Chain A
Amino acid sequence: MTLHDLSELQRDALIEIFNIGVGQAAGSMSQIVGEAITLSVPIIELLHGNNQADAIGAVVRSPRICAVSQTFTGGINSKAFLIFPEGKTREIVRRMIGESVSAEELSDMEQEALSEIGNIILNSCFSSMSDLLHADFQSSLPTYHLGLVSDVMTVQKTQDDNLLLLLHIDFSMPNDQIHGYLVFLLTLPSFNALIERIDQFLSGIHAN
């Protein structure tokens, strides 16, 4: 299964779902940092899952990553990650918390602030999916990870029928641009359930 196995409309619907989710997240993040934030139209890839750590490492091009993960369950189950190369997140957090805090305080608060950003972006994507596909999701609390890609992604290593939906997103703030990634780990049955929902949605709008 690759993205090319999907029809043009199925791919388009998938991108539109995430585009709306990311757009809503930009609105929420802008309210938090008090500045204009632009999140780019996501570029989507579908990767096979025997060794997600290698796949992510190759794409992120950094051996160490900073990530926030959440598990979403419902008709479609997924473990979702917001990933940044290590060291790229401080500026986002500084803008979120403000100029007045010291470097030490900033470092202490980084984990909490990034968890909140992950929570906003990941939940916006699932909320968009829920709105368009009429699927209900429950989410776990965000978990913060900092370390080698292989350690962060290690829990998934044993499952060989996973698919990995990877979205590249640029975060643009005045004077800064940061490239981040969203990764959705889906079992094959969950991916098939997602496509089934997309087909129902497309049939509902008389697109096929």
Chain B
Amino acid sequence: MTTSTIKSVLVVDDSRVARIMIRNIILGIHPHWIITEAVNGKDAVDKAILETPNYITMDYNMPDMNGIEASQQILQHAAKIVIALFTANIQAHTRNQAANLGVGFVGKPITEASINQALEFFASRS
């Protein structure tokens, strides 16, 4: 394991259960990756700018600031971070917003398959 293969991931979700699931599944696949968490959009923006992780899993439906708004703000400050948006809301409007930002789009619920989809998106952008 070289340091270049160890990646850092910021997991953003207002649900603690969702954060636990994402963390556990990623660590099951990449046990050495560094995972940190943010509990809402604003926390995500603050931590992304401070920590500049390689990747972010971003929940869409959160109070106050949704995942698209948070992603926009993050990418303005740190364009190199690769973000995958997790949402149960698969409407074209949301999908287009994500695509315009260069953000990946992954359907909820969180499962090993959906996490793998996000990991593949991360790898394709690295």
Stretch at the interface among A21-29, A46-54, A140-148: A21-29
State which residues 91-112 of B face A: CB under 8 Å: 91-94, 108-109
Chain A interface, number of residues (Cβ within 8 angstroms): 30
Is A12 in contact with chain B by the CB < 8 A criterion?
Answer: yes
Alpha-carbon distance between A31 and B93 when the two chains are bound, in angstroms: 10
Q: A23-B61, A128-B109, A132-B109 are in contact. Are A37 and B16 (CB under 8 A)?
A: no
Alpha-carbon distance between A132 and B60 when the two chains are bound, in angstroms: 19
Chain B residues contacting A131 (CB-CB under 8 Å) are 109
Shortest distance in angstroms between B70's beta carbon and chain A's nearest beta carbon? 14
Alpha-carbon distance between A202 and B20 when the two chains are bound, in angstroms: 10
Chain B residues contacting A8 (CB-CB under 8 Å) are 16
Partner of B91, one of A12, A19, A31: A31
Chain A residues contacting B93 (CB-CB under 8 Å) are 30, 35-36
Bitwise interface map of B from 68 to 108 toward A, beta carbon under 8 Å scored 1, else 0: 00000000000000000001111111100000000000001
Q: Is the CB of A23 within 8 A of B108?
A: yes
Shortest distance in angstroms between A171's beta carbon and chain B's nearest beta carbon? 13
Shortest distance in angstroms between B64's beta carbon and chain A's nearest beta carbon? 10
Q: Is the CB of A12 within 8 A of B89?
A: no
Is A44 in contact with chain B by the CB < 8 A criterion?
Answer: no
Chain B residues contacting A36 (CB-CB under 8 Å) are 91, 93-94
Shortest distance in angstroms between A194's beta carbon and chain B's nearest beta carbon? 15
Partner of A12, one of B17, B60, B90: B17
Which residue on A lies nearest to B21, using beta carbons?
A205
Chain A residues contacting B88 (CB-CB under 8 Å) are 19-24, 27, 128
Shortest distance in angstroms between B9's beta carbon and chain A's nearest beta carbon? 17
State which residues 1-28 of A face B: CB under 8 Å: 8-9, 12-13, 15-16, 19-24, 26-27
B residues at A contact (CB < 8 Å): 14-18, 20-21, 24, 60-63, 87-94, 108-109
A residues at B contact (CB < 8 Å): 8-9, 12-13, 15-16, 19-24, 26-27, 30-31, 35-41, 128, 131-132, 202, 205-207
